[in-house]
Amino acid sequence: MSNKKPLSSEKKDNIIAQLKGELYQYHQRQIDFGSLHNQLSRLENAYAQVQEELQKIQKVGRAQTEVDLNEIKQLRSELEYLQEQLHQRLPNNNPQLLELAQIRQNELAILKKETNEIMLQKDQLQQERQELESTMKDMIETKNSLEKENQLLEKEFDKHFKQNKELEQTRQDLEFEISKKEKVILQQKKMVDMLNKEQRQKGDYLQQIQMKHEIQQQQSGQLDDQYQQLNENLEAVNKEQKVINNQLNQIQQEAKEINLENINFDKNIKELEGDIDTILNHVDEENLKKMNLVEDQKFLNVELNRALDLINQLTSIKQDVFIFIIKIAL
């Protein structure tokens, strides 16, 4: 027979109540574990979705947002909390639950490692983003600086273009004035040529008079009539000579005025040469043309002086002839 004493009904009730309580606690823990397991599964799914989204972001080169990082941190906190709850609630005598808890702990370690990698990638992406923003800022500043320089260059170009246009108009005006003066000089040259021709004709006429005078010396009977004719011709010559002298004086005065105008034009051209040389190189060619025109003017002046000398010589010859005629008359 057994030496054990039978339990009293009170103790039996206490043991039964204790076992029922432990059984209830066990079932409650099973329910809590299932709830925690479901929460862990949802968190794992959410983490997988976040990780997938992060991979998509990394493929397109975008930085991980703070919202995603906060969600990862929250998931990690919840996982740590669940792990703590599992350790507190799981019975120590259930190998399967312990193994499951170890698996969850390993998964949590992997999750931490992946989270750290994500954080590292996030820092790298953030650094790249900052570098890109800095580069963009430098490029924007450089662009703004170049735009300002371009605006200044455009203003400077407009200024020089306006000055060039004004100088070009001044050059055209000067060329027009010079062309007018050239026409006047050509007309005066033609007039001088005509006067020279007339003077030569007058010289020929005087030569004819001298020949007639020689004939009169041979024909003394006709000397008085011829002398009277010579006096009349001489008066006509004197009148024509006065007209010629007046025309020559007028031509000389106009030539002096033209020379003064040419000197003024030369001064204006010299004053404009400095600005023209700095803006347009081809203005030098125009100035060279103007200098050639001045040389032509000088040449015309020399020719005019030669013509005046010839006229003076003819006048002197005329006076000599007149004196010779007077001597003959005496």
Q: Can you tell me the distance from the alpha carbon of 233 to that of 213, in angstroms, rounded to the nearest whole number? A: 13
Q: Which distant-in-sequence residues (6+ apart) come within 8 Å of 123 by Cβ?
A: none
Instruction: Look at residues 85, 75, 84, 87 and name the one whose alpha carbon lies nearest to residue 42.
Output: 75
- The residue with greater pLDDT, 14 or 220, is 14
Radius of gyration of the chain (CA): 63
**Helix locations, the chain, DSSP H:** 9-59, 66-89, 95-218, 223-279, 282-329
Interval 25-74: pLDDT, tens: 656 666 665 565 566 566 556 556 655 765 665 565 455 556 556 666 66
290 CB neighbour count, 10 Å cutoff: 20
* Cβ atoms 311, 248 nearer than 8 A: yes
pLDDT above 70 covers a percentage of the chain that reads 31
Given a cut of 60, whether residue 107 has pLDDT beyond it is: yes
* 3-state SS, residue 246: helix
Q: What is this structure's pTM?
A: 0.27
197 versus 280: the higher-pLDDT residue is 197
